[in-house]
């Protein structure tokens, strides 16, 4: 099933929290879900109640051909591939392999992607990276996360022109999709930027997620937003975005037993 790459040209946009929220939302729709963290900060695992001191991860063992064996089974049923504890040498070796042989991800993730209906969400570090380049070559769905602020608006033309998600070699004909995060309509700039983004992006905009303290409180409680506060605005908004993604997933071609997407 699909590999969804979630990225942003700038940091601090809440991308990791959004990735975790979408994982829970897609699971609620009946999809088996796996998440993989390509960010050395190794923070995605914390949204799935993996202890802070747990050193397990895939980067230190990335030479293995099938990363499915490295995925951690969590109590909520979502499989997690944490970045894990890795030395500087291991990190640099991993990034070099991604840069030199980006298609290695097809083999490494093939086992997960061959599981019927499995959705794999990849959380990337902010800005350009070897991981983003490698994922862009094979991802079925590419999502850019932005804020409703001037900095994000100024970066939008770069994404639209292919400087962040290059069109060449992309694993999908689906255009880049966008999520506008941490919207705060009480602030004039945020409200104006949101209106501009909605008008500019049109159907490429998957949805908006408003600023909601419930998301931070859910993380502190080691619960999903749907378990912590199912009636919150962010829970409803993440559910709507997941349903939009479900429609896109339904239009994708099936994969072979090795995880390769059929063409045509």
Of 227, 150, 229, give the one whose Cα is nearest residue 193.
Answer: 150
- φ and ψ at 261, to 5 degrees? -75, 130
Average pLDDT, the chain: 91
How high is the pLDDT of residue 256?
53
Reduce the DSSP state of residue 154 to 3 states and report it. Answer: helix
Structure tokens at 238: 């993440």
Q: Which residues of the chain have pLDDT under 50?
A: 170, 172, 258-259, 261-264
What is residue 175's predicted lDDT score, i.e. its pLDDT?
82
**Predicted pLDDT of residue 65:** 87
- pLDDT reported for residue 166: 86
What is the structure's pLDDT at 258?
A: 46
Q: Domain range spanning residue 47?
A: 3-250
* Structural domain contains residue 176: yes
Residue 256 included in any domain: no
- C-alpha span between 80 and 36 (Å, rounded): 6
Q: For position 259, what pLDDT does the model report?
A: 47
Structural domain contains residue 166: yes
pLDDT of residue 255: 57
Number of domains in the chain: 1
> Is 258 domain-assigned?
no
What does the alpha-carbon distance between residue 264 and residue 261 come to, in Å, rounded to a whole number? 10
Q: What's the pTM?
A: 0.93
- Residue 260 inside a domain? The answer is no
DSSP state of 262: P
Is 259 part of a structural domain of the chain?
no
Structural domain contains residue 261: no
Separation of alpha carbons 222 and 219, rounded Å? 5
In a domain, 140, yes or no: yes
CATH of the domain at 137: 3.40.50.300
Q: What is the pLDDT of residue 24?
A: 98
């Amino acid at each position: 099933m699909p590999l969804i790459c979630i990225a942003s040209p700038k940091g601090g946009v809440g991308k990791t929290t959004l990735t975790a929220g979408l994982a829970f939302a897609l699971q609620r729709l009946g999809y088996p879900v796996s998440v993989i963290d390509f960010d050395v900060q190794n923070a995605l695992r914390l949204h799935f109640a993996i202890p802070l001191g747990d050193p397990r991860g895939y980067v230190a063992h990335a030479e293995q051909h099938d990363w499915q064996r490295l995925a951690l089974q969590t109590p909520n049923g979502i499989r997690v591939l944490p970045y894990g504890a890795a030395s500087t040498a291991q990190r640099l070796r991993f990034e070099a392999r991604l840069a030199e042989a980006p298609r290695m991800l097809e083999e490494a993730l093939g086992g997960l992607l061959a599981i019927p209906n499995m959705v794999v969400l990849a959380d990337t570090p902010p800005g350009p990276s070897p991981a983003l380049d490698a994922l862009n070559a094979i991802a079925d769905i590419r999502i850019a996360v932005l804020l409703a602020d001037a900095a994000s608006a100024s970066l939008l033309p770069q994404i639209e022109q292919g400087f962040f998600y290059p069109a060449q070699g992309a694993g999908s004909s689906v255009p880049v999709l966008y999520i506008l995060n941490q919207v705060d309509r009480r602030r004039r700039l945020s409200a104006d930027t949101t209106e501009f983004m909605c008008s500019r992006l049109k159907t490429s905009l998957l949805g908006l997620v408003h600023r909601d303290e419930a998301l931070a409180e859910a993380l502190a409680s080691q619960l999903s937003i749907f378990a912590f506060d199912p009636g919150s605005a962010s829970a409803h908004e993440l559910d709507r975005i997941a349903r939009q993604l479900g429609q896109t997933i339904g239009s994708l071609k099936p994969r072979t037993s090795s995880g390769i997407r059929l063409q045509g």
